[in-house]
Structure 1
Amino acid sequence: MGPASAALPQLPHRAIGIDVGGTGIKGGIVNLRKGSLTGKRFRIPTPKPATPEAVAAVIGEILDELLSREKAPAAEELTVGVTVPGIVIDNVVLSAANIDETWLECDTTELLRSLPGRISTLNDADAAGLAEARYGAGANKPGTIMMVTLGTGVGTAIVHDGVLVPNSELGHLEFEGEKPAERRVSAASRERLEMPWDEYGETLRRFLVHVERIQPVNKFIIGGGISKRSEDFLPGVTGLRAEVVPAQLTNDAGIVGAALYAAERARIADLRSTDL
């Protein structure tokens, strides 16, 4: 599980993760011992427009479905993690590059107050990175790991010795005259520019070299839906000091990471209240 996961035995056995995406909002019950879903994911299309209120209503529907299942977490220990594609600090959304602009300055604690459980919100790439670092391609690996998610945009997550350093957002760097870098490096950009796979691999290689100068890491984990085609472009990503590997948890990473994050935040809050 990694050196920062010693408190995992003190967490509830299960938690719920909900991953808010541009086309779909999906959730699941997560086994926190194994880092895997208990039962099938439940998905509802993302509403149009995806305002906070509309998304909150869908999150409520997903929670209702998951809590109706036989293996749902007990009410007294229910924690729920929710991902948002933006910077999130203290459950407040501070950027909206790839979501409806009405999310700016949205306090998700207030937004989701009527829903059951103890709810925590975090950046979507951070959730995926935390899951991969604890349960996936970075499990049991000390040092600094960076998850790079390639989709509509480029998300990054930094995890050091199992501890998340949130909101890195390195996909918004300037890269080869392009700002943000995701306009050239994202999976959507590859399709828009009709970039061959070998050319895309070389572009990604140059981007990771650029990132490595700013934030040296031990391992890059490449995620997002495009990671299923990693054999088409990762062979060209060579010459870095860090190891570069594909993600293992694929589409479940956001759900798993969100659930783990919420359970740990609740546990930390309980410990702090005990110390007062």
Structure 2
Amino acid sequence: MQIFGVDIGGSGIKGAPVDLDKGDLAQERCKVLTPHPATPDSVADGVKQVVDHFGWSGPVGLTFPGVITDGTHIRTAANVDKSWIDTDARTLFSERLGGLPVTVVNDADAAGVAEMEFGAGRDRKGVVLLLTFGTGIGSALFVDGELVPNTELGHLELDGHDAEKKASSKAKEDDGLSWEHWAHRVNKYLAHVEMLFTPSLFIIGGGVSRKADKFLPYIEGIKAEIVPAQLQNNAGIVGAAMRAAHHAK
């Protein structure tokens, strides 16, 4: 079974049809740059461009980098334009895609769902936390495989700032940090999150998951197991498609 997944991020909008039997992309993904400012209309145009690239005409699952309630209402917009707040995202995207059925889910929650089903969290019980390091820091919290949605742990305070302002991969680039120096910031963040939630497993997602060997060796003093996401930066696309398939039943 194939369903289309789209992952909306602070820097890029990427999507592809997903083979839900394998938990992998059925075709090479298409990516366009996230427009700036990332307003609802401009992002919806980018999503349409990605979906139209494949001539897709079925259900579409989309991630969004913020809190989503009732599967459609945007409550926060940290790394996109603030005009997203209170937007009815499901209606916006469905109308822009010519009436296709649309499901919208928090971006990190989507990545977490995919990793728990097909990746590093498969068959893991207890408390599992997926953290995506990208433009910001996304989080997905699972208890015995069940998602606790919209945790947004990237906005925990770290050294007087939102944690993602100091420890995201964008912060690494903006501050010109070496992998080792950045790892020390990530280490401090992980220690704080571990104190609050005592997970048995951290899954590190986002683009940096492809380069885990460059920073994970510098992480120390964390009791939980720490592993890179197996689906890497495709986890959001796969998870979005999974959620769309669930709602299509």
For the criterion TM > 0.5, the same-fold answer is yes
How far has the Cα of 1:82 moved from its partner? 0.7
8 Å CA contact retained: 2:11, 2:135: no
Q: Which moved more, 1:24-33 or 1:188-197?
A: 188-197
| Alignment of structure 1 residues 47-62 onto 2, 5 Å | 47-62=35-50
How far has the Cα of 1:113 moved from its partner? 3.1
In structure 2, distance between residues paired with 1:246 and 1:63: 29
Q: Which moved more, 1:131-140 or 1:184-193?
A: 184-193
Cα RMSD after superposing both structures: 1.7
8 Å CA contact retained: 1:145, 1:218: yes
Greater Rg by CA: 1
1:16 corresponding residue in structure 2: 4
1:9 corresponding residue in structure 2: none
Partner of 1:29: helix, strand, or coil?
A: strand
Number of equivalent positions: 246
How far has the Cα of 1:164 moved from its partner? 2.0
Partner of 2:94: helix, strand, or coil?
A: coil
How far has the Cα of 1:233 moved from its partner? 1.1
1:96 corresponding residue in structure 2: 77
Structure 1: gaps of 5 or more residues: 1-12, 69-74, 268-276
| Alignment of structure 1 residues 229-244 onto 2, 5 Å | 229-244=211-226
- Given the alignment, which residue of 19, 28, 46 partners 1:31? 19
In structure 2, distance between residues paired with 1:58 and 1:46: 7
| Alignment of structure 1 residues 173-192 onto 2, 5 Å | 173-175=156-158, 177-192=159-174
How far has the Cα of 1:67 moved from its partner? 3.5
1:259 aligns with 2:247: no
How far has the Cα of 1:224 moved from its partner? 1.4
Partner of 2:102: helix, strand, or coil?
A: strand
2:92 corresponding residue in structure 1: 111
In structure 2, distance between residues paired with 1:109 and 1:30: 20
How far has the Cα of 1:256 moved from its partner? 0.4
TM-score, normalised to structure 1's length? 0.83
- Given the alignment, which residue of 124, 145, 154 partners 1:162? 145
| Alignment of structure 1 residues 203-222 onto 2, 5 Å | 203-222=185-204
Percent identity, aligned pairs only, is 43
In structure 1, distance between residues paired with 2:198 and 2:244: 28
How far has the Cα of 1:246 moved from its partner? 0.9
